[in-house]
Amino acid sequence: MEIVENGVTGVQLLPARYDAHGGAIVEMEKPMDPNFFHTMLRASLLQWKLQGKKGVWIKLPIQLVNLVEIAVKEGFWYHHAEPHYMMLVYWIPETICTLPTNATHRVRIGAIVMNDKRELLVVQEKYGRFRARRIWKIPTGIVNQGEDISVGAKREVQEETGIDTEFTEVLAFRQMHKSFYDKSDLFFLCMLRPLTFDIKNQDSEIDGAQWMPIEEYAVQPLAQEQWMFKDVSDLCLSKLDKNYNGFSLPNIMGGYIQRAEGPGTPLNPRPKKPIF
């Protein structure tokens, strides 16, 4: 497509599609001469301004990284990056930018797995802040992109301990800010039922794994100092006494906000740094 600038020169525009919010989206795929790209970019911005467009998104695959500097010098800024591309954005009107920000949270899980002997499945990590103290803790991990919380919890338990489980409910969650690279952190404490019992711990990350009596877990020094460790033992005991109900799988999968029924276990004040 071409426009006539000052009624004289025809200039080719960048290929774009338009969204429902007045934005232009450009997905670059083929190599392009930087000077040619610069000319097309300036012409395109002029045309989009005349059309009343607002936000501009340019997706550059990693092989076109040589075009990034040109776009940045024209006023674009980094929005986010993935292994194979970078997304740059630009706000045209002289108003407050309303483009959505990059992902603000990561999601993590802690897995409470108890057998019928009142024993809790616990691990010792080879790395991380608890290595030196040799603390026994519940399996934890990060939920993958596109992965349900329930699936992530089962996967982490299986990877760290070799135990197969069935997800039953989310017992509690907490939110924390300024965590991993200044992102916010959502931590979901999940209850799972063991389907197997023979432990095969993950050698690359886990120093050991075992079934530990909940009372023994609760008297570890760190369990008396840190609120999350204490809450794990308190919630386990409440579940054993049938005094606490969490969020079941249908409740967290239906797209609606649900609340747990029955008495809950009050949480202690939030820490300043993540515990798990």
C-beta separation of 115 from 197 below 8 A = yes
Of 10, 2, 60, nearest to 31 by C-alpha is: 60
Strands 17-18 and 24-27: antiparallel
Catalytically active residues are: 159
C-beta separation of 249 from 255 below 8 A = no
C-beta separation of 172 from 267 below 8 A = yes
> Cα angle at 244 between 239 and 245, to 5 degrees?
105
Distances 115 to 119, 163, 194, 195, 229 between C-alpha atoms, Å: 6, 11, 7, 9, 19
Q: How far apart are CA 154 and CA 161, in angstroms?
A: 11
Of 191, 201, 272, nearest to 232 by C-alpha is: 191
Q: Which amino acid is at 141?
A: G
Q: How far apart are CA 97 and CA 48, in angstroms?
A: 16
Q: How far apart are CA 186 and CA 20, in angstroms?
A: 30
